[in-house]
Amino acid sequence: MRSTILVPGLALALAGSLGLSAVQSSATAAGQRDSSVAPSGQQAAKATKKATAVGYGGAVTSVDPTATKVGLKVLQQGGNAVDAAVAAAATLGVTEPYSAGIGGGGYFVYYNAKTKKVSTIDGRETAPGAMKGDAFIDPATGKAYNFTPELVTSGVSVGVPGTPATWDKALRKWGTLDLAGAMAPATKVARKGFRIDDTFRQQTLDNKVRFDAFTSTRKLYLPGGDAPAVGSKFTNKQLARTYDSIADKGIKAFYGGKLAGEIVKAVTAPPKTSTTKLPVPVGSMTRADLKKYKALTQKPSKVGYRGYDVYGMAPSSSGGSTIGEALNILEQFDIASMSDTDALHRYLEASALAFADRGKYVGDPKFVDVPMGNLLSDTFARERACAIDPAKALTKPVAAGNVASYDGVCSPAPGTRGTVDSDTENISTTNLTVSDKDGNVVEYTLTIEQTGGSGIVVPKRGFLLNNELTDFSTTYDAADPNRIQPGKRPRSSMSPTIVLKNKRPFLALGSPGGSTIITTVLQMIFNRVDRGMTIQEAIAAPRATQRNTATVSSEPAFITAYGALLTPLGHKLVPAGDALTSAAEIGAATALEFGKKGKVTAVAEPVRRGGGAAGVVSKKR
């Protein structure tokens, strides 16, 4: 018999009658996504979104109302924040399959209310053991594969997935459910279906050439040669059966046995259609690579900022180090007393300086000696802050700082120029934020990289494989901390972050967005702490991202509001939508802010990517 739930009484509630439509939450208001679940033969009730919910007893915020409802249901039935986070993430693997799923990886940050400590899990994908440094070079031409659509649509771009191992480790360490119990609601969503919205259909159409390259993907997402129609019900019974298998046998069903062999075959001999013109370079993953994969428990990054303690992901993510360094630089200035012009000028410059150091020093610590102590040193930050001219923007790219020699004393700025980091992270990722009645908090960012990942659905298994290895630098350079190496985790920008005040949660926040994740989270903290915005205002405010590049990729509203103020200082604001951001919007964040006596404010994007869904367990104490 399957061991479903460890909390008494929860098995029947979740695995039996899910009752999603009966969830008492604040995730019900006008919105675009309609991804609700209905009993077979009945019309699905409309699921809608609300960007803000205030209440007690725990909260969930994500991009998707069904995932938010599932998380809230788990909390209502006695589960904790970890249980709810895994349940919501598994649901996102059904309803947001082009952004996340068991074929990908991510980073999990957890605050334990009992110990008042923050812990993290690195569930980043790894390079196969046989992967060569020139894997992204076309042997026929001797030149790098075109990044899109060739390299991103390939087996060679697929890393060993870390998501199932992350869920299992988080639940075993901190959860009250087992993996089967946490996945049960999502399995029901996959089997009974959800309603297709405009975003799902458009993302499918955007990937039509890539999806049409594989027999398994075409069959699942392009039935009859077209994307599913808006309003139609989409079921994924293949994925439901895969979830059932993992529930029955644990993660060994994924990292070993028949499924592991099917994953390897999809990577090394992709199920190409006879009509595709894409080359689909093959990968080198083996069953041994899957068997040896481990999600890693590690210490978080930490910096103090204006009386708060900011915890994030240490490498292989660059999120914690880069946000932490930028905050340390900003702390050298009295931002609260400044005009918008002066404050935003320093935000952009601090980000550029931190990104310069990210590119030079940060990679997988198993392969790279990352100088975290230096990068997050207040003395190092004081010296880096010296480079900021209050009257003029630095010429980009700026050079990295010297972590081997610094004393915090200002000296003439060096004349050397830096280089732009070859950053290829894609914006399509997802993020969720969860708290429970006991005060435990989870911030979780997960992804399959590209919208649609590698484009490869594992045949008869219903999930897409990632293309995370494209986050490695394309060409091999022995001095590059992000060069391809066997078994290595590519550098990531995912930045799930928890902010404490006197060892108690103040904020939890994160976002998708490739390398703009770092600036999105940084700007939200900057908006909330330094500029006096509410958390709702901080998440909705227009964004700009300076990643040590000649121009500042900006949302149109940011240019309208601040372009005339920042341009005279030398900042070259351009509309978001360049090769790195590929959209007019930057990020799609979720956040929780914690008040007195258990009060929590849950927020999601009000507009970006169609808006998110925030909910609380109860509106009253």
Which residue numbers are catalytic? 429
* Chain centre distance of CA 388: 30
CA atoms of 565 and 559, how far apart (whole Å)? 9
Beta-carbon contacts of residue 411 (< 8 Å; ≥ 6 apart): 386
Fill in the DSSP letter of residue 530. I
Beta strands at 613-618 and 52-62: parallel, antiparallel or unpaired: antiparallel
* Chain centre distance of CA 401: 28
Token digits of residue 485: 């190496």
Of 293, 298, 322, 295, residue with least CA distance to 110: 298
CA atoms of 351 and 448, how far apart (whole Å)? 26
| 149 cis-preceded (ω within 30 degrees of 0) | yes
- DSSP structure string for 536-549: HHHHHS--EE-SSS
Radius of gyration (C-alpha) of the chain in whole angstroms: 23
Query: Which run of H or E residues covers position 329?
Result: helix 319-330
Residues forming beta bridges with residue 432, ordered by sequence position: 444
% helix / strand / coil in the chain, to the nearest 5? 35, 15, 50
Beta strands at 573-575 and 552-554: parallel, antiparallel or unpaired: parallel
3-state helix/strand/coil string of 562-586:
HHHHHHHHCCCEEECCCCCCCCCCC
Residue with tokens 């050397």: 416
Query: Which run of H or E residues covers position 443?
Result: strand 441-447
Instruction: Report the alpha-carbon angle 318-496-25, nearest 5.
Output: 165
Positive or negative, the Cα torsion across 476, 479, 480, 486? positive
CA atoms of 612 and 571, how far apart (whole Å)? 31
